[in-house]
Structure 1
Amino acid sequence: MMAPTARTGSHGVEELLANVPPDETPDLSGGYPRLEESRIRSLETLGERRPTSRGEVLIAEGEPETIFYVVLSGRVAVVEAFGCPDQRVARVHGSGRFLGELGVLTGQVAFFTTVVVDPGEVLAIPADRLRAYAEADPAFGDEVLRAYLIRRSLALGEGIGFRIVGSRYSAGTRNLREFAARNRLPHRFVDLETDPSAERLLRELGVGPEDTPVVLYQNRLLRNPSIAELAAMFSLRELDAKEEVCDLVIVGAGPAGLAAAVYGASEGLDTGVLEAVAAGGQAARTSRIENYLGFPAGISGGELAERAALQAEKFGARRTVPAEVVGLEQRDGEYALRLADGGEVLGRSVIVATGVRVRRLPVPRMEEFEDTCVYYAATPIEAQQCVGDPVVVVGGGNSAGQAAVFLADHAGEVHLVVREPRLDEQMSRYLADRIIRDPRIQVHLHTEVRELQGENGRLGAVVVEDTATGERQRLPARDLMVFIGGDPCTSWLPESVALDSGGYILTGSAAGRARAAEETDGRDPLFLETTLPGVFAAGDVRSGSIKRVASSVGEGAMAVRLVHEHLATTQ
């Protein structure tokens, strides 16, 4: 396969290239390793060498990354907003470096443009050949995957990529930023409230503040786009509603759903995954998971989800975001899952892994601040929002503790409000000890939030009460982080799926006791099977589950084994 025809940009390309720094970008945290000569010689059998010319575009923003490039000589620059008035160089690479990002492995579109600065030569390898080679050589595959994951994390942390322009106090802006962050889409937020370049940029675009938020990507301008439009732009919808029936449809892409997708697809099942917001579920909202087996240094919830999603895609699972399931119906021995957008997906079996929906803090004026100053996650996007601000974190579990520790590196001050009398009552001991030793975090035990103060949707303070003494205290707060548990996402299920008193799904013997006699198919439900034959539940949404990432992953894998048993009896 020949490499694509070279293309060149338009707006100020020569001026851009003339101001490229003379030195290469350092190998940031292992994201830009230099390949050894022996490796390059091995890769040469997969592609072709070809010369490059100054200004030639190798990878174009907004187009699928179909070619894996290795720089043999010359220099190339990775450019943000290439061809636009505010284009800028993000990285510079020389010989031995391989180019691209996660799109080379997933088929996702590129977020940056890679353009030749100094003429030279590259090795161009079709992405499908690269993926096959990486599977045959796991060490090399791991090196490439690790580098691409680090590049994605660096881009997210530095705030480079497509641009979202809007007010930090706008609900629409907040929704776009959260969707982009939770799906780990590299982007830069241009805040109308604080960024001096925002007004100039809007004037150049001919856009008024009333038309914001806007998204700028690949010379395209989207005015107040929906989440679905943003997802379509970045090829996040892989499973279309159609007449074809999947062997297995998984609802929810948290740890349980992603594990089920990996095992289902790898074992030959035609597997589809429907996710309302983003892969990772509640785990992806956690800045660092430190007690998950195999990661002694810890791993962010977002990166764990990204790795799992890549693994599922590698085996052929198709994932669609956003795809909110609003109904389940039994039809001719199959199940029809109705989507909020009117679509429908059919499956011979279903695994419900929808987890829990975050619980809101029951205090007055919550709705007034929720769209602007209240958060239910602690990721780099929230950290960017809270730089220098006083922050209040509410909750006594591991998620709240990890959030407090993470935000202490960014916020002006951090208050952790815990209703329990001891910090380690619901929190892991190692984390509680770390918080107690951290002078940047002020812990308020046996304390609850009573009041929110502020004006015009901007939080100013949180009033808390010591439940032991009745004493109230006013804590300064520009941002409020809430981690007080959640409620199961089961409202979309039909009445034929039995729930416990808390709304969690009954499975196994409990489901058998709840199943009506006329609904039985002549056998007792399998361990993770619900009262509907062929419909299984895994992870936090299941009654009696252990609310841990490891147990959710185990249940997702186990559910697939039970799906095979069910399908074997229905064929």
Structure 2
Amino acid sequence: MRWPPELCETPDPQGAYPRLSDAQLQALAPHGERRRVHQDEVLYAEGLPCAEFFTVLAGKVATVEGFGVDDQVIGVHGAGRFLGELNVLTGQVGFVTGVVAEDGEVLAVPADALRRLVAGDPELGDLILRAYLIRRTMLIGLGAGFRVIGSRFSADSRRLREFAARNRLPHRWIDLEQDQEAERFLRSMGVTPEETPVVIWRGETVLRNPSNAELARAIGLPAPQVQKETHCDLLVIGAGPAGLAAAVYGASEGLATMVLDNVATGGQAGTSSRIENYLGFPSGISGGELAERAAIQAGKFGARFHVPAQACGLHLNAGDHIVTVGEGGTIHARTLIIATGVRYRRLDVGNLERFEPTSVYYAATMFEAQMCERDPIVVVGGGNSAGQAALFLARHAARVRLLVRDESLSRNMSRYLAVEIERHPRIQIMLNTEVRELIGEERLTAVIAENNRTGERFTIEARALFIFIGAEPYTTWLADEIALDPRGYILTGADAGRSGKEGVPDSVGRPFPLETSGAGVFAAGDVRSGSVKRVAAAVGEGAMAVRLIHEYLQAGE
């Protein structure tokens, strides 16, 4: 690269590039080696796992996107700053390259040693984790990483973008409807419209309409494929708050723990732009950041994550819990925690399906906000999820209309949230209102709504529709193996014992609380019948389920 004569260090207004103190450098020094570095030397490369954690002792190091192809300098860092981003802790591949811009010296610590060190030093660990989380957010905002090229009207384009957004993978979206150069580029590569969307990674890897699993493997997500037959002590199905808590406590207490999730860690909570009533976070925390922190914590204790991987079937055979996985293979687990959560309900509107690929959403993250930037939108629902979505989206949309079928906003919504919404200048609350029809061609243009008290109908301009009207449990894959309540939620404890299901443990004190009708199979979080639909409750149930598993194993069942 061609470096300017005077290379200035990048300012740090967001706290993404803190300097390590002398005491922290001294704590790191015995675990690594001091190394002289020279201009243009590559310390770590885009597309490859980062095996070392680097701190600059002298000289300067630049982080560069598209190194060697389309060099874009993201930042320049001098003495005292440490390099890398979230991939150093997760084992994921990197999305930028670290290049020496000015001769100097670095301290190189093996990534494995760093993970052990920060586990025993909370102050250092929190400093590094916080900086890495901010850097990942910055990379996402810059559009670093891989490219997704497709039509905004394509369901597969939306699928890939949602997968990337839910997993917080830096990427750039290129819309064929607006970028004629991209269309000509694909034609020159022999890509037909039927083969889009296309993913381009590192300027060389081209994937034509890949599945989520294919994309994950191509960009090096740490998601090893389930083998033909895999064994573990504890299998957790679902990586929402309950599943992540179970993974942390199971792995930290010595159980060989595996976690499956079909889309991303975080579950339904991961789609929340901000959780403001979770204990210990007075200023709130996004669902994505909470999930990332928990996954790193579980990984620190040795939990193995398989994402994306879908559980398709369960078979109970004399204490051996056998789960079949979508892409092939089976997992044999001594114990099982089902934390698959719920899926949002769909509106009963005749032409909803036609608009779902392009204009209907069931989450409110930065991905959805970008899709409706400066557009008029409608949010349907009267609970906390709808309220949080309306507040977040109001920062991006031209205006937000919140449709609530009840006569009061505070009937099903926390009072503090209802007050914020009522005071927001860009949110219009429409009580006693329900959606009756959607209007548009390829994309939504308007919603026909009705006042359920007067019967009056009216048209509301809308380019996007957000639906938060409750949820249904994700239990269809269980077939008849586990007792469910009439709504499909999993029965546990005394309720499971009274279900009449064959095979229910019948010894004293069984089934355990949170244990299902299958011996050694537990349920936690929203999927459990009678659960409290709160993040804190789900986390508590995940931890409690692990404690009950130890009792189950000690009993020799």
2:41 partner amino acid: E
After TM superposition, give the deviation of residue 155 of structure 1 in Å: 2.0
CA distance, structure 2, for counterparts of residue 62 and residue 223 of structure 1: 19
1:163/1:227 CA distance change after superposition, 3 Å: same
AA at the equivalent of 1:501: P
Q: Which amino acid aligns with 1:473?
A: F
Q: 1:516: Cα distance to partner?
A: 3.9
| Equivalent of 2:109 in 122, 125, 139 | 125
Give the conservation status (yes or no) of the 8 Å contact 2:115–2:300: no
Shift of 1:477: 1.1
How is 1:36-435 mapped onto 2 (pairs within 5 angstroms)? 36-84=21-69, 86-195=70-179, 198-199=182-183, 201-202=185-186, 205=189, 207-218=191-202, 219-233=204-218, 234-238=220-224, 240-435=226-421
Stretches of structure 1 lacking an aligned partner (at least 5 in a row): 1-13
Aligned twin of 1:507:
492
8 Å CA contact 2:273, 2:389 repeated in 1: yes
Which amino acid is the alignment partner of residue 514 of structure 2?
L
Structure 1 residues 18 and 341: alpha-carbon distance in aligned structure 2, compared to 1, 3 A threshold: same
Return the alpha-carbon distance in structure 2 between the equivalents of residues 343 and 517 of structure 1. Answer: 27
- Is 1:481 the counterpart of 2:462 in the alignment? no
Q: Which moved further from structure 2: 72-81 or 321-330?
A: 72-81
Give yes or no for the alignment of 1:492 onto 2:477.
Answer: yes
Alignment partner, residue 6 of structure 1: none
Give the alignment's Cα RMSD to 1 decimal: 1.9
Corresponding residue of 1:10: none
Compared with structure 1, are the counterparts of its residues 19 and 213 closer, same or farther at alpha carbon in structure 2 (3 Å cutoff)?
A: farther
**Aligned AA (1:432):** A
Worse-matched range after superposition: 119-128 or 351-360: 119-128
Counterpart amino acid of residue 360 in structure 2: V
Instruction: Quote the Cα distance in structure 2 between the aligned partners of 1:28 and 1:337.
Output: 48
Letter in 2 for 1:558: M
SS at match of 1:29: coil
Residue 8 of structure 2: aligned partner: 23
Contact 1:157 1:380 in 2 (8 A): no
Corresponding residue SS for 2:10: coil
Task: State the SS of the aligned residue for 1:514.
Answer: coil
Given that 1:507 and 1:537 are in contact with CA atoms closer than 8 Å, whether structure 2 keeps it comes out as yes
* Residues 56/461 of structure 1: CA separation in 2 closer, same or farther (3 Å cut): same
Q: Matches of 2:206 and 2:36 in 1, distance apart?
A: 34
Q: Secondary structure at the match of 2:293?
A: helix
| 1:537 partner amino acid | A
Shift of 1:220: 1.5
Q: Return closer, same or farther for 1:518/1:553 CA change in 2, 3 Å cut-off.
A: closer
Alignment correspondent of 2:552: 566
Answer yes or no: is the 8 Å Cα contact 1:81–1:162 preserved in 2.
Answer: no
- For normalisation by structure 1, the TM-score amounts to 0.93
Are residues 39 and 496 of structure 1, via their aligned partners in 2, closer, same or farther at CA, if it must alter by over 3 Å? closer
Cα distance, 1:196 vs. partner? 6.0
CA distance 1:226–1:516, shift in 2 (3 Å) = closer
Equivalent position amino acid for 1:506 in 2 = L
Does structure 1 retain, via aligned residues, the 8 Å contact 2:213–2:308? yes
In structure 2, the gaps of 5 or more residues are none
Contact 1:329 1:494 in 2 (8 A): no
Structure 1 Cα separation of the partners of residues 504 and 354 of structure 2: 46
Question: What is residue 463 of structure 1 aligned with on the other side?
Answer: 448
Q: Supply the AA of the counterpart residue of 1:297.
A: S
Change (3 A) 1:541 1:110: same
Report the Cα offset of residue 316 of structure 1: 0.7
Structure 1 window deviating more from structure 2 (504-513 vs 490-499): it is 490-499
| Per-residue deviation, 1:63 | 0.9
Q: Deviations over 1:474-521 (max 9, x none)?
A: 111111111111110011113131111111111111110113466545
Q: Distance in 2 between matches of 1:141 and 1:228?
A: 31
Displacement, 1:200? 5.7
Q: CA deviation at 1:216?
A: 1.7
State the SS of the aligned residue for 2:14: helix
Indicate the SS of the match to 2:285: coil
Q: Match of 1:4?
A: none
**TM-score, L = length of structure 2:** 0.95
Please give the secondary structure, in 1, of the residue aligned with 2:62.
Answer: strand
State yes or no: 1:542 paired with 2:525.
no
Q: Distance in 1 between matches of 2:4 and 2:178?
A: 28
Deviation at 1:78, TM superposition (A): 1.6
Q: Would you say the 8 A contact 1:396–1:427 is kept in 2? A: yes
- Cα distance in 1 between the residues matched to 2:507 and 2:382: 45
How much does 1:380 deviate?
0.9
Could you say which residue in structure 2 is the equivalent of 1:442? 428
Deviation of residue 333 (structure 1)?
A: 2.4
Contact 1:20 1:89 in 2 (8 A): no
Structure-2 change in CA distance of 1:295 and 1:520 (3 Å): closer
CA contact (8 A) 1:357 1:487 kept: yes
- 8 Å CA contact 1:69–1:125 kept in 2: the answer is yes
Task: Report if the CA contact (8 A) 2:250-2:546 is conserved.
Answer: yes
In 2, the alpha carbon distance for the partners of 1:221 and 1:497 equals 43
Residues 257 and 353, structure 1, Cα contact 8 Å, conserved in 2:
yes
Deviates more, 1:247-256 or 1:194-203: 194-203
CA distance in structure 2 between the partners assigned to 1:286 and 1:20 by the alignment: 46
Measure the CA separation in 2 of the matches of 1:278 and 1:287. 15
Q: Which residue of 2 aligns with 1:33?
A: 18
Change (3 A) 1:299 1:111: same
